[in-house]
Chains A and B, each alone.
Chain A
């Protein structure tokens, strides 16, 4: 049954601005803990810069380790924002309203975490990675040094920076009406701060029209960027014919659907956290979890189909090195354990659970199952990247080994701390649930009586 709570504009303002106008008690300790974890990771990065990549667990032939795993993982999580915001906005799904901004913010901080994970620490001479970026920009052209456009070093940053720009713009455009509310409620320098950001918003019909058009246009324009980013990340692997298990045509769709699976699951996790931490249970109702649970069943099953195709066609090649790599992945310790854990946590545990309505409408179970998906999806990237590089083939002289070092572990942990820190700080400065969207939803909400039942309805223009 769909249950809605009709709230007044005053109540909405009071509830949703509470996180901005005053700090919850847990906020500062949480920020401090995350900051410490982040700084430890930054110190590890400083040590790496000083000593070189030798301090990591990376060695020939396994030159890509958990940095790359983390990179692909965060790119995946970043797909949540656009999936939830753009697609659901274009399809006019009503349940998107309280979820969109948190998803978009997750996108931005995940993208930065992805940039921190690999390109800045992993690609050699990172001190030259500031402006100008030698891998991308033709800054050395006077000496005839141009970036190699056939290299993923150029593809990835171009795609990710475009996506980051588009996503930031996406958040900003949707924030403007809420910034104006904050401007009008605060005084002094705070009012000035929000006044500058709100770009003179007064809520005139023309401004609303432009805002709606900008939202729709950005939604439509950002979708190709969203698809291109993870396609390009997948092609970093798939265009390579040297590593076993990577040269597969299915990688782009497989990575995209995997990214949506992990991204949407992450949004659901954040939704539960929003209810538990800020008490927004009047906005994030069981209906919303039910809807995202249904979406996750479809996405998760499609992801599994692509995983199945990827695996089946690795066998279909009947090539010795490919079969040897799959044997390593599935049957040899410790990869076999990781493989089983990956399958259970990414698919066999959460998806059947979501088939149960009670699970979909339970915040606890949604938290557990969606967290499980992301454990599984992190492992998925791990067992794609590392066994592919181990080269456990008949020529044993080429065999590799890999154990992540403490430096790598600290830096990966720092990316998690960064994303959580970003979300908490954002929520302290800007409303994490869009006020205007919620109010619009309340205005457009209706009920239709059919016989003895009342059915939830909404106004369509």
Chain B
């Protein structure tokens, strides 16, 4: 049974039994649209493999052919791998509006495995510390350090991020996997019994569940920030002679929060529009995330300007050269696109209430933010990989190399990776319900409608 109104933004399906029935039903038959989407994604992934083979043909000795590949790994780290934060942060803040979208965000944790696989070739492309460039392992100047420390540490952190992302998804799904187990038979029941790991919903299990989710969420956030720190410096900044920017790792991580929100917004729109989840994903979710996206877009500008003003005002030659390379020189079009889509457009669109409080407004802005992030990562990593082989490792000399435009292999790689992400996501939803069943049911316990003077109000409870 579904009720008509849901202006509080919570599920329009009225009772816990109906929520379970409705969402469990959706896990069984896959629609024709689903298989078309999965098939298309797989075809794109195949194109990506061809692109990778072509790229591999260029060898790994020179860095510049791998610029777009590095930008791709950075893009997925910034967008898909940040998406679980949309579930983690509002859950820690006990915001009820996150409930219908938390699982859609957490599923992106699985994409971490794909990005880890994509990251492996980059480890071979990155020169070791013997080439004399700067590194976070600056103690190498005064005592002997293994020349591959950046490779080892970044690999460990990418691996840990992927593992924690999957663990978070699994732990969060346990009650739902048990529901599927209890509503299935045969082989499907046996598979889900294993996945549910003996979940029976005892008080102790629930107690542990909340603690696990809190700890894993906090750990995922810390790993995300650390991975951005390690990756952005060792696979980006350290390759550019003279680039010293203490804020860059934090900027990289802050941008990822913006892009993560944008990713989830776009997915929410697709789930609502094409998968029939309109009863769960409503205006309240778009409004909540829209406000967050607006705030994070302002943060994008503040972080960018805080770096820019110092580098520009200081007028030190090495800093001016970095600005020339990434903002006003060969990559100016990419920078302007990123600036407009990540800051100007969100500011001037989301400042209006009717746009912010709509479904199309935040989705449109989020799509722009994703495109802007793509250009931002291109202007950083592609430019960095074109100057990585410079003789002087501590100051860039003019003239700067021209902009490195993508070739066929780059296009195929990007298309293939995005197809791979879509495929991994779609196949994950075959196992794990894309709407969190137990959180939806819990939401029904924490809200009541009651009369208040001449109107009716919503009363929302908050757990201790």
Contacts and interface: CB of A to CB of B under 8 A. Distances in A.
Interface stretch (A102-110, A245-253, A329-337, A416-424): A245-253
A131 interface: no
A446 interface: yes
Nearest to B93: A91
B233 to A, nearest CB: 8
A457 B462 contact: yes
Contacts of A248: 246-247, 310
B56 interface: no
A318 B307 CA distance: 20
B250 interface: yes
B460 A458 contact: yes
25 contacts: A1-B464, A2-B462, A2-B464, A235-B313, A241-B316, A248-B310, A249-B246, A251-B310, A252-B302, A253-B302, A253-B306, A305-B225, A309-B247, A309-B250, A313-B246, A315-B138, A316-B134, A316-B138, A316-B244, A318-B134, A448-B445, A448-B461, A455-B446, A455-B464, A458-B462
Interface string B229-266: 10000000000000011111110000000000000000
A312 to B, nearest CB: 7
Nearest to B312: A239
B306 A317 contact: no
Contact of A460 (B134, B141, B298, B459): B459
Given A249-B246, A318-B134, A460-B458, 4 more contacts: A247-B310, A252-B306, A253-B303, A456-B461
Nearest to B307: A249
Contacts of B311: 249
Contacts of B452: 459
B463 interface: yes
Interface residues of B, number: 39
Interface in B133-149: 134, 136, 138, 141
A450 interface: yes
Given A239-B314, A251-B310, A318 B459 contact: no
B461 A250 contact: no
A262 interface: no
Interface string A15-29: 000000000000000
Interface in B314-338: 314, 316
A314 B245 CA distance: 10
Interface centre among A2, A231, A239, A249 (most CB of B within 10 A): A249
Contacts of A460: 8, 457-460
A455 B461 contact: yes
Contact of A448 (B136, B306, B457, B459): B459
A314 B244 CA distance: 9
Given A318-B138, A318-B141, A455-B446, A306 B302 contact: no
B310 A239 contact: yes
Contacts of A306: 250
B309 A250 contact: no
Contact of B247 (A249, A317, A459): A249
A305 B250 CA distance: 9
A247 B250 CA distance: 17
B461 A450 contact: yes
A251 B141 CA distance: 26
Contacts of A11: none
B427 interface: no
Interface in B71-130: none
B459 A446 contact: yes
* A-B pairs, 8 with minimum CB distance: A313-B246, A457-B461, A250-B246, A252-B306, A448-B461, A455-B461, A249-B247, A249-B307
Nearest to A87: B295
Interface string A198-238: 00000000000000000000000000100100010001001
Contacts of A231: 302, 306
